[in-house]
Structure 1
Amino acid sequence: MNTPTPALVTRRGAVPLPRLALLLLCAAYVLPGLFGRDPWRNADLTAYALMEAMASGRTGWLNPTLGGMPLDTPLLPHWLGAASVTLLGPLLGGPLAARLPFALLLAATLVLLWYAAYHLARTEAAQPVAFAFGGEAAPVDYARAMADAALLAFIATLGLLQMGHETTPELAQLAAMAGVLWALAAAPFRPRLARVAALIAWPTLAVCGAPAVALITGIGGTVVCRQSGYAEVRVMARWVAGATLLAVTLATLGGTWAWRVGSGWSPGDAWSIGRQWLWFLWPAWPAVLWTLWRWRRHLGHRHVAVPLVLLVAALAANLAMRGSDRALLLALPGAAVLAAFALPTLRRSATAAIDWLSMCFFTTCAIAVWVIYVAMMTGVPAKPAANVAKLAPDFAPAFLWADLLPALLASGVWLWLVHWRTGRHREAVWKSMVLPAGGVALVWLLLMSLWRPLLDHARSASPWVETLRPHLSASPDCLAAPDLPMALVAALEVHGPWRVQARADADCGWQLKVLRDQPRGAQPPPAPAGWVLQAAVRRPTDREELTVLWRRLPR
């Protein structure tokens, strides 16, 4: 006897989200931050510097180096960015050209997630309860509504906001993880295409830097497929196992099989990781827990087991790496799908609480962004303007209609959305995720329009490099930067551009060192023997770092 599902969805509750509205929401999430900014510290800048060095021929494509130092990073995502810089850089500029393929990866992730949730919701075990006199949701309509809910939950997660808009290998891993999810979900309905997707997704996940996650999801996916009631899915188990074996082999040959496992756990680490999970997976994690409780008698069915395998694999990697947010990013596709299956089981009071919390929080955030923007432009209110001047003393705000108009449009859409949601629109199963997803997209668009110049000034390394430029000769032979963080080496190569040598034995006519815990007014240390102090400068937005530049004396 089949166990009844806890989902109660009427035919009116399965109405799909309008396609134009869904596409505009995705565009409002993907496009802001793509144009008009420098690569930001730290991972974003380091990845772009390596791509630009490969594209310009300063380093090889098979064994790339930055500042003469090899990097422990997967090659495939950097090849993708470097190829785009090579082809489109002369037309669009290097940073935008490097971002384009990664923006497409984010868009592909959204598409794969939607279709994965759609296929999982179409399975018999995921269907809502059939009413005695009819009126329940049709299977296809229900699946579409659940896919909309999963996509909204994915966009609403806070952890995706920054890393989803970087040019880093983790975004390629995320797209591969979404491919794994789709391959497992589509097996009963698109068996041939699902097998091809498995042979692509698992090896891609491994060679992009997550072989351990690929292995765990491959083992878990094989077990889930073997226990399925669909004959096509049981056949899929062999393909998943083969794809996993191929992934492990390629990761071993490519040198990406590196265990970055932390040691020396302490109670403080557990507390820190717990807090990280709370904010990174918000607002999905409460819904995930509710799904696991309400669907506890269905944990073996694919619509729960498949996303749960992906979620557990990513959480295990996060724990093993002592709280790496890069590993936790891979938990988002599984968490979003699980969160969607909580929505048909929520009571009206719970959905109302989600709506009011989202409305109050994101409206407050939007007001804060607008107030500080007006203060930057006009000096009123005086206190926010003074705080901006204190935190970014060299920043000169400039008014641009291209920044203001999208922000005004997005704010107007948000007000309409709040008005719509607070009205009598209670039927749609995805309704509780509209305000969280719309609020995240709103705040991101406001930040990337109204605050984009300020954030670019604060997070770009270009202002720091500009403080060094007057003190360096026009074309120094080379600049030694031993023990300098790779992000700063990347900044020197991208914004200099100077030939930087980060090796300890570098023999250059110039040497640069960054000193920590140096408050303003602190004197630079004496120059090493054979060197003379050329300059001591500070990053405009950093109060505790002192950069000293030494020039070698004639020998």
Structure 2
Amino acid sequence: MKPVRLPAAATLALPRWALIGLGLLYILPGLIGRDPWKDDAGSFGVMWTMAHGGLNDWLLPNIAGLPSAGEGPLAFWLGALGIKLFGWFIGDLGGARVSTAAFFLLGVSSLWFTAFHLGRRAEAQPLRLAFGGQPEPTDYGRTLADTAVLIYIGCLGLLLQSHETLAVTVQGALLSYFMYRAVRYVELPSVRNAGLIGLSLGLLTLTRGWLCPAGAVIALVGCARYLDMPMRQTLRHMAIAVLAGLLITLVWVVPAEIVQPWGRSPVAMWLAWNASQIGLPSAASLTTLLRTGLWFSWPAWPFAFWAIYAWRRQSRLLHIVLPLFLLAALGLLVLFNPEPENGDLLKLLAPLALMAAFGLPTMKRGTINAIDWFSVMVLTMIAGLIWMFYIAKLTGWPAQLAKNVLKLVPGFQPQFGLGAFIVAAAVTVSWFFLVHWRISRRPSVLWRAVVLSSGGLILLWVLLMTLFLPDLNYGKSYEIVAHQIADKLPDGVDCIETNVGPAQRASFAYFGHLPFAGLEQKHCSVVLIQDSVNVRDTRELDKRFRDSSLSLLWEGRRPSDRNERFRLYRRGE
């Protein structure tokens, strides 16, 4: 017997304007007005270098001369294209982030249509009620689609990563699109649908290598085998998909190998990076998958595992089998990655959110109400604390709160921003209206269990990206340091040798327009060293920069970083 019994009243769709409004409130804060921070400055640096460079920069991704061809060029191409098209109007940083917003929309819309199609299938429908009144398949599909999106944007990990110009963000959106195309293929196996799967495979390969698309194809073949689809036909279609993906990949591979920018092979660097992404499970991979994954994918994973349990007595359910096979294949890629990053977990969120949407209708009313009240109390309390810290930093009262918040950004002078205050206040009032609607109306709609948690998370993000954005930019950006270095550069300097990391190099090139040495490996008269405050003198530097003729021009660091230090030297003649 199916585990879902719902009346039609529980499947009223979320108004389109409300869903679109939540999406805009989610993605726009954090894209507007935010400087490149350490986590995504390196990726932006590649896009900026491409947009202001030549063919070699587009074929060999680099950050002002520092090669960065490991992941693949697609995410950087799209960011650079955004700079070319929109940089004149909204600035280079805003232009690069146009692609970030576009791929967020691609991921969310792909997930919506995936859940919608699966929700209309006969095996997913609720039990028919004795006297009628059960929901129509289309209504049920729309409700599940809305629920899946709300769960997806409610995941903590997506909130942290989706606002950054990273290749993993593009990969997560493309995997959501692959999942949609896989559902359409299972519904109608055809050469056309196989070709569209190949499109997603090719784009995934150009984004972050071939391992992820390979795992996705294996998962789809396993799903087809489990569903008793004709295997000969499936394998033929998957061969077409892989061929299409390969042809798309050759759009970059062939020119890169022919041109060999700066005498280097970007494809060899890319293949070496791919090989480094697979190995034996390590303590780092286990920690990332199990411990980090628990908060990263909250609250999707409890609903998803409940869905597996609730639908366990049914067989050959596409809405469980497909995301479960994808989750297993992609989870193994994280497990067998010797040094995975938190962003690698993004690939798991869309399958988890999809399964979670089908688990929610099977939960008891008491459990759903408990989730509601937990969201209201915890998120409202955190929002209240954010407002208290904001008032404290501006007024100095309460004194202890003001001290705690300002010690994180030493030297920062808080100022009142009217526009930011109005936006934060409006979103806070909207939150209380949402809570009042939930308490006074007591709606029976299915998505009521997740609209409060998603809305509350958006509230907290908007408050941070308005009330505390200047503080965060001051503490996480390298803009101040870049200007200080630029002011201390001697006249006529043609290049700078350095050991700074990708994020620092990108920030200094963008904010300070520092002329770093390119891939030609010039010998420069100025050296910029990144080290620790524990390094006492030049004798402890990297061997490349040990030179008795070095004379110190400047020394400094970000006020919020107590360990990192930068020193600018001039070489003697």
TM exceeds 0.5? Answer: yes
- Shift of residue 525, structure 1, vs aligned partner: 4.3
1-structure distance, mates of 2:97, 2:484:
27
Matches within 5 A, 1:33-432: 33-42=30-39, 44-57=40-53, 60-71=57-68, 72-187=70-185, 194-225=193-224, 228=227, 238-247=236-245, 254=253, 255=267, 256-257=270-271, 258-261=274-277, 270-271=286-287, 273-298=289-314, 300-321=316-337, 322-432=339-449
State the identity %: 32
In structure 1, the residue corresponding to 2:551 is in which secondary structure?
strand
1-structure distance, mates of 2:352, 2:430:
27
CA deviation profile, 1:340-391 (whole Å, cap 9, x unmatched): 0111110122112211221122112211221111122222222222223322
Q: Does 1:548 align with 2:567?
A: yes
2-structure distance, mates of 1:152, 1:299:
27
Residue 479 of structure 1 aligns with an amino acid whose one-letter code is: I
Residue 35 of structure 1 aligns with an amino acid whose one-letter code is: I
CA deviation profile, 1:233-288 (whole Å, cap 9, x unmatched): 99676434421344357558744551333667555763454210110000011111
CA deviation profile, 1:311-348 (whole Å, cap 9, x unmatched): 22322222122442222101111111101011111012
2-structure distance, mates of 1:202, 1:267:
30
Matches within 5 A, 1:470-549: 470-482=487-499, 484-501=500-517, 506-516=522-532, 518=534, 523-525=536-538, 528-549=547-568
- Shift of residue 68, structure 1, vs aligned partner: 2.6
1-structure distance, mates of 2:429, 2:443:
22
- TM score, norm. by length of structure 2: 0.89
Answer yes or no: is the 8 Å Cα contact 1:480–1:502 preserved in 2.
no
Answer yes or no: is the 8 Å Cα contact 1:182–1:194 preserved in 2.
no
Answer yes or no: is the 8 Å Cα contact 2:552–2:569 preserved in 1.
yes
Answer yes or no: is the 8 Å Cα contact 1:226–1:237 preserved in 2.
no
Gap change, CA 1:269 and 1:87, over 3 Å in 2: closer
Answer yes or no: is the 8 Å Cα contact 2:424–2:467 preserved in 1.
yes
2-structure distance, mates of 1:460, 1:355:
37
Residue 114 of structure 1 aligns with an amino acid whose one-letter code is: W
CA deviation profile, 1:32-83 (whole Å, cap 9, x unmatched): 12211221113x2111111111111265211233243321231111111111
- TM score, norm. by length of structure 1: 0.92
Answer yes or no: is the 8 Å Cα contact 1:30–1:107 preserved in 2.
no
CA deviation profile, 1:150-183 (whole Å, cap 9, x unmatched): 0100010000012101112122212211111111
In structure 1, the residue corresponding to 2:163 is in which secondary structure?
coil
Answer yes or no: is the 8 Å Cα contact 2:195–2:240 preserved in 1.
no
Gap change, CA 1:412 and 1:427, over 3 Å in 2: same
2-structure distance, mates of 1:486, 1:136:
57
1-structure distance, mates of 2:9, 2:506:
54
Gap change, CA 1:360 and 1:525, over 3 Å in 2: farther
2-structure distance, mates of 1:249, 1:509:
46
Answer yes or no: is the 8 Å Cα contact 1:481–1:503 preserved in 2.
no
Unaligned runs of 5+ in 1: none
Q: Does 1:29 align with 2:26?
A: yes
Q: How much is the aligned-residue C-alpha RMSD, in angstroms?
A: 2.5
Answer yes or no: is the 8 Å Cα contact 2:71–2:208 preserved in 1.
yes
Unaligned runs of 5+ in 2: 254-266, 540-545
- Shift of residue 467, structure 1, vs aligned partner: 3.1
In structure 1, the residue corresponding to 2:391 is in which secondary structure?
helix
In structure 2, the residue corresponding to 1:528 is in which secondary structure?
coil
In the other structure, the counterpart of 2:457 is 440
In structure 1, the residue corresponding to 2:156 is in which secondary structure?
coil
Gap change, CA 1:517 and 1:276, over 3 Å in 2: farther
Residue 324 of structure 2 aligns with an amino acid whose one-letter code is: L
- Shift of residue 186, structure 1, vs aligned partner: 2.8
Gap change, CA 1:473 and 1:48, over 3 Å in 2: same
Residue 25 of structure 2 aligns with an amino acid whose one-letter code is: A
1-structure distance, mates of 2:325, 2:521:
47
CA deviation profile, 1:440-473 (whole Å, cap 9, x unmatched): 1111111111111111111211122233233222
Gap change, CA 1:214 and 1:265, over 3 Å in 2: closer
Residue 199 of structure 1 aligns with an amino acid whose one-letter code is: G
2-structure distance, mates of 1:269, 1:30:
29
Residue 516 of structure 1 aligns with an amino acid whose one-letter code is: S
CA deviation profile, 1:91-136 (whole Å, cap 9, x unmatched): 2210001101221111121111111100011111111111222222
Residue 25 of structure 1 aligns with an amino acid whose one-letter code is: L
Equivalenced residue count is 545
